[in-house]
Structure 1
Amino acid sequence: MPVVRRRSRPILSRLLALLLVVLAAGVVDARGATAATVSSTELTTGFALRSATGLADTGAAISQVGYGTAGWTPVTLPSTVLAGLTAAGVYQNIYFGQNLKSVPDLTGQNWWFRGEFTASALTPGQVYWLRFKGISYRAQIWLNGTQIDANAVGTMVAHEYDVTSLIRPGAANALAVLVTPPAHGCKDLSFCTVDWNPEAPDMNAGLWGRTLLDTTGPVALRDPYVRTVLPLPATNAADLTVYADAVNATNAPVTTTVSGTITKAGYPTVSFSQDVTLNAGERREIVFTPAAYPQLHLANPALWWPYQFGTPDLYRLSMSAATGGATSDTKSIDFGVRQFTDYRTTVNGTSFAGYKVNGQNILFRGGGYMWDLLQRWDTATNAAHIQYVKDMGLNTIRFEGTLGNEELYDMADKAGIMVMPGFVCCSAWEDDSGWSAEQAQVATASLDTQMRAMRAHASAFLWTYGSDQPPTAAHLTAYKNVAAALHWQNPTLDNVATWSNANAGMKMDGPYVWEPPVLWWDTTKAGSAFGTTGEEGTEAPPPLESLQKFLAPADQWPIGTAWNYHSGAPGSVFDNTTPYTTGLTSRYGSVASAAEYSKKSEVQNYENTRSFFEAWNAHEYTQSFGTIFWMLDSAWPSVHWNLYDYYFKPGGGYFGAKKANEPVHIAYDYATKKVFVVNSGLAARGGLTATASVYTIPDLAQKYTTQAAVTAPANASTQVLTIPALTGLSTTYFLRLQLKDAGGAVVSDNLYWYSTQADVLGNKSNWYRTTPKTYANLTGLNSLPSNSGVTAAATRTASGGRETVTITLTNTSATTLAFFLRPEVTAGNGGGEVAPVTYSDNYLSLWPGESTRITASYLTADLHGQAPYLRVRGYNVPATSAPLP
């Protein structure tokens, strides 16, 4: 990283200046040493943005205090160019319809970010550091009239400067950054959205990461990290190795005492320390090993466990550097005592990677995270993502190139959600055979920056150097050298696609468009639930209420240009949802309106996503070892690839995933007609009974029923039943699976709708699709009689800004099923569903006379001042709305 050294001054004048400051400040520690201020201030306000085109002034002038910015666009950091212009109203409602097309290309010009800030007062020996967590793509940086970097390059590279000689302590300072945007078409080593939505018109140029002004004494600490090793298979001890970099910011040798403590409530405090002499300007890694510091061998540590496996316990590491007896810098992190290991198993002739945590097999299941198209996020948004991941029963988030949202990593640590970082596919990142020397340097610097940010996190379990294709040998070696130098403690993969690298350990064979549920179970088909997959998924049109937020009524139906613009990237094979719509109309019947399309698509999304996760879960550790659904969320309002939509309105795919991933679940295999019970926890469940019953539609006549006693071993899938070939069924029929405990309480309740005319997959297959040959006939659902006999009673409690609603739903009809019921807490009568929101269950069905109780939880603030209402509707249940008490 580039470092600007302080300007030299005559020794006498420096001593006099320091003496004056000491006398003025009067800050002296108990041993007589003067303590520098240790602080970190994020620079956010007081900045403005404008195109460099037509501006003749240089950085030397623009970075002077008092420079006039009349006509510039005010901007709050961090911000990309387009995010800043949109926030200021220069471009409006750009996610609606095709409005994004009206934004001009913003990459053909450079952009100035300029602002003023007040620096803290100077104390003796104090050093000022200017740190940029993310600039895209290239920048010239000026401070108070002086250029401190002529070429800060690399979107994912952090940049840090000692600016002590340039800062005006206790006074106004001016910072100016001239940004050169990345090239379109993913031609730079920048962020890239490949084919899942249109490119941002600015390619996310700007100061997208945090900008910080830090103060330390003469020695600064950087990147503390604790590597944890368990005596596997035992977990009753742990060896900790602590690393931190110490930086001497002076022009002379300095002796510093680097100390640390490890704390956790209820556990002994561990302390350690060593004296180090650093040469002038030296940056050195300081290491504390269990061999030299036996106290770093912990007995019976609290372990960090992923979600559904246990508690994600965290320890606190606090470190300090002292010079002359005074604190020079401090750093603290949370870390987990845990160990991820990998293994290989051959399935269908291919070697696949599996993973263990603390010696226990773990099936990773998750989704591919996308930040907003303009890279906007905040704490509430990050918290909603983590909340939804857990609510769906997922345990993993994949970051394919969307690296740098460090707050999300922190939240994942606390929630027990594993994270899978790596670089993006289909771009300059993978077109590395022709890299320039600068690009090669940017790539390794990017890895160094991002791996430093990730390595201390308990949630990080894997790093993938490539996605669809592995890096070339030379660059892969350079990457692995970076990981070794950083003591990366987790498994790595060269890439995640066996089609390009037979030893990758993961496959990426698609599909990426809709397939019938049987595909996930038929392990003769590409993309089915065998091995380990880095990603696969389907189109997922959002609920009607979300469509209405980004499409005009005429664009909602019939499907046309505006709809397709919100599918995949224009000109890609994903710029339409034809496979999805063909499947929907062929299976559920013709569609005449947006409302009808949404009603049926919600059912199809639920059915398909539930089956996806059920198949991967049911085959765990024998045929399947981990899966990532493409995608978790969408970068903008999309009709393709998401488990929940841009507005955080949970829909059919969300609740299908939630059902499939419940802690103990009973599931149906569409290919073999077997029934499985999957226990996702580390405690066995005995005394269970599984029941399978088949009913005709619409009369609900029971044509078959059977049951079996079940013991569900910990962290395992067990086959418990097989549904025989049946006769006398209606063309569309119901299969109801239930799992009850010894007391008769329902553990898992799962309703399937299928057909005597099964989905049949064809032999035509490519990297994104296996084309169905024939479709199931599910139109019998449309013959279900209307049911107006569903009643709803609710209570509401509020505490700490959060509300909990308990809802009791009853089907009072003596003859008619209430199918696919959707209770929603809305903001006002007829308003939108409050979001984000979690429900204990949803999109459920009630047999005649049945009743169920569910809970909903949300923040009061997300009602936006409206009174809460309960809306209830279903596939054959008319909508009702009533105020919540």
Structure 2
Amino acid sequence: MSRINRPYPRALAALLLTVVTVLTVGALGPGGASAATVGSAELTSGWALHTATGLAATGATISRVGYPTAGWNPVALPSTVLAGLVANNVYTNIYAGTNLQSVPDLTGQDWWYRGQFTAAAATSGQVYWLRLQGVSYRAQVWLNGTQLDANAVGTFVEHEYNVTGAILPGALNAIAIRVTPPRHGCSDLSACTVDWNPEAPDMNAGIWGRTLLDTTGPVAVRDPYVRTVLPLPATNAADLTVYADAINATAAPATTTVTATISKPGQPTITASQTVTLAAKERREVVFDPAGYPQLHVANPLLWWPYQFGNPELYQLTTAASVAGAASDSKTINFGIRQFTDYRTTVQGTSFAGYKVNGQPILFRGGGYVWDLLQRWNTKTNKTHVDYVKAMGLNTIRLEGTLGNQELYDLADAAGVMIMPGFVCCSAWENDSGWTAEQTTVAQASLSTQMRALRAHASTFMWAYGSDQPPTAAHLTAYKNIAAALHWQNPTVDNVATWSNPNAGMKMDGPYKWEPPVLWWDLSRAGSAFGATGEEGTEAPPPLESLSRFLTPAQTWPVGNATWNYHVGRAGSVFDNTDVYSKALSQRYGTTTSAADYSKKSEVMNYENTRSFFEAWSAREYTQSFGAIWWMQNNAWPSLHWNLYDYYFKPGGSFYGTRKATESLHIAYDYFTRNVYVVNSTLAARTGLTATATVLNIPDLAQKYTTSVPVSAPANASASVLTLPAVTGLTSTYFVRLQLKDAGGATVSDNLYWYSTTPDALGNKSNWYSTAVKTYANLTGLNSLPSNTGVSTAVSRSVAGGQETVTITLTNTSATNIAFFLRPEVTAGNGGTEVVPVSYTDNYVSLFPGESRQITAAYATADLGGLPAYLRVRGYNIPTASLPVP
């Protein structure tokens, strides 16, 4: 059977189906020629998993129809080995406590996957293709007793086979795949989680990607792609170049007409065709460019814009091949007309990369995304990740080696969220000076596969060839040659760490442990907000409700026990504890006395830290700062370190601190200089604004200082609008309230800080993951806020199409006391857990006496699990209350 190791981008609509509908495109061609069946079926069901140890049968036998699988574990693909065993309850509740340690090493043996499926009936000229989009790490592939591949190697390499000679058309077929797992310690070019959680006991061995059976005529189409060039700085036209590979599946020359059709509702349809003759088995790139096809010069296109800049407009490309007038194959993708470019600016003596989209500078703001530890995913999970990124006001998802989830890319395209992909650090991927010949081949094939998939997506804005360190010169040259051959149109960087490569364009100077908010603003400190950062972040214990899902009460308190630390970072690394974080929490907010007290205070500290981080990067945009990635966006399993939202999708302090910092029009406080900034993250200027800064004592809210200034907010810019003086007569802990109002007096940004007359002070000692703290801010005055029982709540609900929207109005009726850090939550049942995933228009809000705030929450009815909806309201100084949602 012929083998092709190249990827195939799918249409968005196809991704949302478990089985892609198989279509017959036309019954007859001219002269009565029979048309081929054109389509694709995902082989998800009818599979079983078994260890190869002790199994005497060979692939030639196992891949025969009717081979008995009694005693095998039924699995649905995609599935890693461990995911399949967990689904069959061989190992249970492995994310709780230290249960994962009870799973034995699963990498010392091979594993058989066996499936049966019915193939589409044959027509004249029918060709069948088997495509494996993700197998880890190496595999023997068998179909109906015939070996297709003795060594399909590479986690991120797509393997494709013309199986026409082995298939049983219109009948039951059997496939068997013997998988050899990757080695532990990130020793193979596979998925790798480095130090942020324990390794999966199977190292994510198995069939993690989609398994597809395609049917075509004699010529197949692969990898359609549209390259966009705008006449920058103008955007009133676009030159589109369409690329697609045509494959002659036969042993004789074939003449095919390839047609490219570009369409979008309300826009003119563009069509271009060319006829080519392919040699036997030839694969050739077919190109349509504006020089030969003037219709590909598009006037006044609708552009794809990232979130906060505009609409992520998408067009559709259908590339079809016909032979003798009969349809042979067709592929459809969505694409965006947009152009990303990069530039360099020297800051603090180092050259940093900045990026523009459609000629407009854009500050990339995002987090480092990871898959579930067992690489399980579905559409709902993928969509929630993208939705949460937008809900936090971020515009970027970084993929450090977490590649291949093409549905995530499609969802990002539609949402206007940028994708920042590249290879992973601290593993065989970076230890490339000693690669074997096979590893070199695998690395290059992996890049080709992943770039072919990513290049077609509007959301992809760059590629990083390396992470902490650049590849060797030889490998880097080979990588860049592959990118050029694939017409990769987006910027690239050699790696994202200036400590190893001064010309990297991005830094990775830490910190990775907790630091006070002032660090992000102090430009003399490693990790502060200048240049562009590939990643940095701190510990972020999730809310108590989530902690209780994977830790027992004894494991939750006191913190720092062995089980607690097991969920922090890789054992034996500097990240296997939260000692730095927990010390800072008690020093700043007062000694923690229980799990509930620890959680309450940690939510406040997480909020202030992520808020300050993204504010500092935004405040200096395009002059000193060009983009920042928080390490991490989410966790691969229930974790206490590095996240903006936890494994269970419960949004906490980090989530809402980020959301506050990145609102489209925002007023922010610089902890280091006491400057106040107004940041406009949109492409529309705002005038007639007023910025007000007020300093108040705690707990009596006595006003010690206030000032107001008129403000204009230029588009896509930040400006310092005032500086707070040194105010006397303050209590040890005090509030700084910043408000930005429009000409009509409506509040467009309301931002409350709590700080101290003894501020955080950084020490002189630092390393790659932390900077010492000399003294901690005294924020214990928050504990003296009087209990406020005067918060009233009104709630209503609307239901439509399986979605619910709850409108919440919170009012502080107290005449004297603040309602600090209020957290409304829609719960499943009275006293139940918060319904997730969920979207709130705001949360963790603080109300001064007499103030009200309206918040809406949106979620799926099904996520209530059949329980009634309740609203729980809690806060730092208010009693918890729960009431039914009518």
Aligned equivalents of 1:65, 1:850: Cα separation in 2 = 71
User: Is the CA contact (8 Å cut-off) linking 1:644 and 1:650 kept in structure 2?
Assistant: yes
Verify: 1:340 aligned to 2:349, yes or no.
Answer: no
Which residue identity is paired with 1:818?
A
Deviation string 1:846-878 (CA, Å, 9 cap, x unpaired) is 001111111111111111111100000100000
CA–CA distance in 1 between the matches of 2:648 and 2:794? 27
Are 1:325 and 2:305 an aligned pair?
A: no
Shift of residue 2, structure 1, vs aligned partner? 5.7
Q: Which residue of 1 aligns with 2:850?
A: 849
Q: Distance in 2 between the 1:571 and 1:155 partners?
A: 27
Matched position secondary structure for 2:198: coil
AA matched with 2:769: Y
1:180-233 CA-to-partner distances (Å, cap 9, x unmatched) read: 000000000000000000000000000000000010000000000000000000
1:27 shift after superposition: 3.9
Alignment correspondent of 1:882? 883
Determine the C-alpha separation between the residues in 2 that align with 1:27 and 1:706. Answer: 77
The match for 1:13 is: none
How far apart in 2 are the matches of 1:318 and 1:172? 31
Instruction: Give 1:28 deviation, angstroms.
Output: 2.0
Match for 1:774: what amino acid? T
Within 2, Cα distance between the matches of 1:491 and 1:690? Answer: 38
The question of whether the paired residues in 2 share the 8 Å contact of 1:261 and 1:270 is answered with yes
Question: Which residue in the other structure is 2:788 paired with?
Answer: 787
Is the 8 Å Cα contact of residues 29 and 324 (structure 2) preserved in structure 1? no
Q: Is the 8 A contact 1:2 1:159 kept in 2?
A: no
Per the alignment, residue 437 of structure 2 pairs with 437
**CA–CA distance in structure 2, aligned partners of residues 344 and 772 of structure 1:** 33
Deviation at 1:30, TM superposition (A): 4.7
SS in 2 for 1:100: helix
| 1:527-606 equivalence runs, <5 A | 527-559=527-559, 560-606=561-607
- What is the aligned partner in structure 2 of residue 417 from structure 1? 417
Aligned mates of 1:540, 1:366 — CA distance in 2: 16
Three-state SS of the structure 2 residue aligned to 1:3 is strand
Aligned 1:335-414 pairs, distance under 5 A: 335-414=335-414
Matched with 1:230 is 230
Residue 12 of structure 2 is matched in structure 1 by: none
Q: Where does residue 52 of structure 1 map in the other structure?
A: 52
Q: Secondary structure at the match of 2:305?
A: coil
Give the match's secondary structure for 2:345.
strand
Is residue 116 of structure 1 aligned with residue 116 of structure 2? Answer: yes
1:766 alignment partner in structure 2: 767
CA contact (8 A) 1:353 1:506 kept: yes
What pairs up with 1:639-678 in 2 under 5 angstroms? 639-678=640-679
SS of the aligned residue for 1:757 comes to coil
8 Å Cα contact 2:2-2:163 kept in structure 1: no
Q: 2:243 corresponds to which residue?
A: 243
Amino acid at match of 2:117: F
Confirm or deny: 8 A CA contact 2:2 2:162 kept in the other structure. Answer: no
Kept in 1: contact 2:82–2:201 (CA 8 A): yes
- The answer for the alignment partner of 1:456 in structure 2 is 456
Q: How many angstroms apart in 2 are the aligned matches of 1:732 and 1:537?
A: 26
The one-character-per-residue Cα deviations of 1:260-294 (angstroms, maximum 9, x if unpaired) are 11001111110100000000000000000100000
* CA-CA distance at 1:676 after TM superposition: 0.2
Residues 848, 167 of structure 1: CA spacing in aligned structure 2 closer, same or farther, 3 A cutoff? same
1:39: how far off? 1.1
Secondary structure at the counterpart of residue 609 of structure 1: helix
Amino acid at match of 1:455: R
Deviations 1:26-81 (A, max 9, x none): 94235422100001000011110011001111111111110011111111100000
> 1:492 aligns to what?
492
Q: Secondary structure at the match of 1:223?
A: strand
Structure 2 CA distance for aligned equivalents of residues 708 and 866 of structure 1: 50
1:743 aligns to what?
Answer: 744
- Say whether residues 1:692 and 2:693 are aligned partners: yes
SS in 1 for 2:525: coil
Moved over 4 A (4+): none
Q: Is the 8 A contact 1:4 1:163 kept in 2?
A: no
Using the alignment, how far apart are the partners of 2:56 and 2:672 within structure 1? 69
Mapping for residues 127-146 of structure 1, pairs under 5 Å? 127-146=127-146
Query: What is residue 147 of structure 2 aligned with on the other side?
Result: 147
Q: Distance in 2 between matches of 1:638 and 1:675?
A: 35
Question: Is the contact between residue 109 and residue 180 of structure 1 (CA under 8 Å) also seen in structure 2?
Answer: yes
> CA 1:57/1:29 → structure 2, altered by over 3 Å: closer, same or farther?
same
SS at match of 1:535: strand
SS in 2 for 1:647: coil
- 2:277 aligned partner, one-letter code: T
Distance in 2 separating the partners of 1:31 and 1:193:
58
Contact 1:827–1:866 (8 Å) recurs in 2: yes
- 2:268 aligns with 268
Encode CA deviations 1:740-760: one digit per residue, 9 max, x unaligned.
001110000000000000000
User: Which structure 1 segments of 5+ residues have no match?
Assistant: 6-24
Cα-to-partner distance string for 1:12-33 (whole Å, 9 max, x where unaligned): xxxxxxxxxxxxx994235422
Aligned-partner Cα distance in 1 for 2:268–2:257:
23
Q: TM-score with structure 1 length normalisation?
A: 0.97
* Distance (whole Å) between structure 2 residues aligned to residue 166 and residue 4 of structure 1: 16
Q: Tell me if the contact between 1:342 and 1:353 (Cα under 8 Å) persists in the aligned partners.
A: yes
> Greater CA deviation, 845-854 or 540-549?
845-854
Q: Secondary structure at the match of 2:788?
A: coil
1:616 aligned residue: 617
Q: 1:8 aligns to what?
A: none
- 1:826 matches 2:812: no
What residue is the counterpart of 1:18 in the other structure?
A: none
Q: Distance in 2 between matches of 1:824 and 1:3?
A: 53
1:10 match: none
- Find the aligned partners of 2:39 and 2:609 in 1 and give their Cα distance: 51
Q: In the TM superposition, what is the alpha-carbon distance from 1:310 to its structure 2 partner?
A: 0.3
- Equivalent position of 1:61 in the other structure: 61
Q: Contact conserved, 1:810 with 1:850, CA < 8 A, in 2?
A: yes
Quick one: which amino acid aligns to residue 557 of structure 2? W
Any conservation in 1 of the 2:26–2:35 contact (CA below 8 Å)?
Answer: no
Query: What is the SS of the residue equivalent to 1:150?
Result: strand
Cα deviation code 1:316-352 (max 9, x no counterpart): 0011100011000000111000000000000000000
Question: What is the alpha-carbon distance in structure 2 between the residues aligned to residue 3 and residue 137 of structure 1?
Answer: 18
Deviations 1:369-404 (A, max 9, x none): 111000001000011011110011000000000001
* Aligned Cα root-mean-square deviation (Å): 1.2
Alignment partner of 2:32: what SS? coil
Query: Secondary structure of 1:69's match?
Result: coil
CA distance in 1, matches of 2:241, 2:173: 41
Distance between the aligned counterparts of 1:322 and 1:569, measured in 2?
54
Aligned to 1:433, the other structure's residue is in SS state: helix
Q: How does 1:174-213 map to 2 (within 5 A)?
A: 174-213=174-213
Letter in structure 2 aligned against 1:555:
Q
Give the direction of change, closer, same or farther, for the CA distance of 1:345–1:737 in structure 2 (3 Å limit): same
Determine if the alignment matches structure 1 residue 805 to structure 2 residue 809.
Answer: no
Deviations 1:229-257 (A, max 9, x none): 00000001000000000000000000000
Instruction: Indicate the SS of the match to 2:409.
Output: helix
Cα distance in 2 between the residues matched to 1:534 and 1:31: 60
Maintained 8 Å contact 1:534/1:627: yes
Instruction: Determine what percentage of the aligned residue pairs are the same residue.
Output: 75
Contact 2:788 2:817 in 1 (8 A): yes
Once residues 300 and 47 of structure 2 are traced to their aligned partners in structure 1, the CA distance between those partners, rounded to angstroms, is 51
Whole-angstrom distance in 2 between the partners of 1:591 and 1:356: 46
Question: Secondary structure of 1:177's match?
Answer: strand
Q: What secondary structure, in the 3-state scheme, does the structure 2 residue paired with 1:411 have? A: helix
User: What amino acid sits opposite 1:580 in the alignment?
Assistant: Y
